[in-house]
Amino acid sequence: MEPALAAGSTYSFTARVDRNGASPGTASAPFLLQVSTQGPARNVQITTITDDVPPATGDVTGLFSNDVSPTISGTITPALAAGEAVRLQRSRSGEVVDIDVPAGAVGAGGTSFTFTDAGLANGFVYTYRARAIGPSGNGALGTAVSVTIDTAAPTVAPTISVSASDPAGKIAAAAGIRASGKGISDATPLITVTVNGAADNDQIEVQVSTDNGSSFVRLPGSSLTPVPASGSHSFGVTHSSGAALSVGSDTTPNATPQSVQYRARLVDRAGQVGPNGNTSNHRIGLFSCFDLKDSTAGRALSTSPPSGAAHSTVANVPMNCVSCHEQRSALGTNELVQRVPGSTTPTYRYWCTFGGSNVAF
């Protein structure tokens, strides 16, 4: 019995015919056999996992993807030799599958590969590694890369509310939470979003429209905020000054209040969007009476409004403020504190009733 062949050794084999001990025949040409158990010495690394399913496409290595057939690309160093190929190892939750990359998926020169996988399932994290294989065995596995598959778009619609503050240095105006349709004299209102029952990878996106709802964009200065996957959660985002809101000045209010709409929605980490929440509509400007010009005479309203009833009409003024009322009693929910232009001391209390497309404070 011949001894076992040793790894790392080269053996030469010949054959000849021997007839019953008579003179032997001519030996064949030698057959050389090199014994190796190491497999191909190739460094095979995955460089990208590509998602080509909208809305979010591109390299999703280490990220979330809604593509159940991602494309796996990588490099091979040095180039594959004859008889060698690339094998992927794909694992999820302890289950490991070997996938042989077809020869046609290996680039010219044998230094790269691009292979489209298939059959991935929602909710799993898939980890890939690559190696070279050949007649002598398997090469070393490359570095592991992963992708999380998420094909389920968010289903929860967030609710939104808008809060205003008294703008510093300007006319004190109605503050606190402002219902949809109410005016705001605050160029940086606080937008609060509440979510009930989000998923693990959902995020809040606060949107704003300045064209009466024709188009919405992400609120300038804000970013997607992760949402806990259980319970009720509220998040506040300030409408930054970079969004170009303007309320005018004490003595020069906006000629036309700026129309702004806010809403929110969930966007998961695979880029899929959920349903839009409620829309909160507002007019941004100095909704005052005393510092506005009289719409007919072009002059400042009197610094001595008529006395008498607690709510006595002063005048019609611009910006659809149909009537401006003096309030001499304590402030109520619909009242504005006004002051004489140039003065730092509030002298009278007023509130505006809006007509046309505007809603009363």
Instruction: Tell me the per-residue pLDDT of 174-227, one tens digit each, with 9 for 90 and over.
Output: 567 877 877 777 778 899 999 999 988 999 999 999 888 899 999 887 889 999
Q: Residue 307 — pLDDT band, cuts 50, 70, 90?
A: very low
Q: What is the pLDDT of residue 181?
A: 76
- What pTM was estimated for this model as a whole? 0.67
- In the three-class reduction of DSSP (H, G, I as helix; E, B as strand; rest coil), residue 336 is classed as strand
Q: Residue 49 — pLDDT band, cuts 50, 70, 90?
A: very high
Contact 124, 68 (CB under 8 A): no
Torsion of the alpha carbons at 65, 69, 70 and 71, rounded to the nearest 10: -170
Q: What is the pLDDT of residue 330?
A: 38
pLDDT tens digits, 67-100: 999 999 999 999 999 999 999 999 999 899 999 9
State which H helix or E strand residue 87 sits in.
strand 85-92
**Cα separation, 87 vs 208, whole angstroms:** 49
**Cα separation, 267 vs 275, whole angstroms:** 9
Q: What is the pLDDT of residue 1?
A: 53
Asked whether the predicted pLDDT for residue 302 surpasses 70, the reply is no
Secondary structure of 146-203 in HEC code, one letter for each residue: EEEECCCCCCCCCEEEEEECCCCCCCCCCCEEECCCCEECCCCCEEEEEEECCCCCEE
* Domains with residue ranges and CATH for the chain: 43-149 (2.60.40.10), 159-284 (2.60.40), 288-361 (no CATH)
Share of the chain above pLDDT 70, in %: 68
- 137-138 and 125-134: which strand pairing? antiparallel
Buried b / exposed e over 247-281, threshold 16 CB at 10 Å, is bbebeebbeebbbbbbbbbbbbbbbbebeebeebb
Contact 337, 351 (CB under 8 A): no
- Between the two ends of the chain, the Cα-to-Cα distance in Å is 104
Average pLDDT over the chain reads: 76
Q: Residue 346 — pLDDT band, cuts 50, 70, 90?
A: very low
Torsion of the alpha carbons at 165, 169, 173 and 179, rounded to the nearest 10: -30
- Residue 38 burial (CB count, 10 A): 13
Q: What is the pLDDT of residue 184?
A: 75
Secondary structure of 17-61 in HEC code, one letter for each residue: CCCCCCCCCCCCCCEEEECCCCCCCCEEEEEEEEECCCCCCEECC
Q: What is the pLDDT of residue 27?
A: 82
Mean pLDDT of 284-308: 40
pLDDT tens digits, 148-179: 999 999 999 999 999 877 554 334 345 678 77
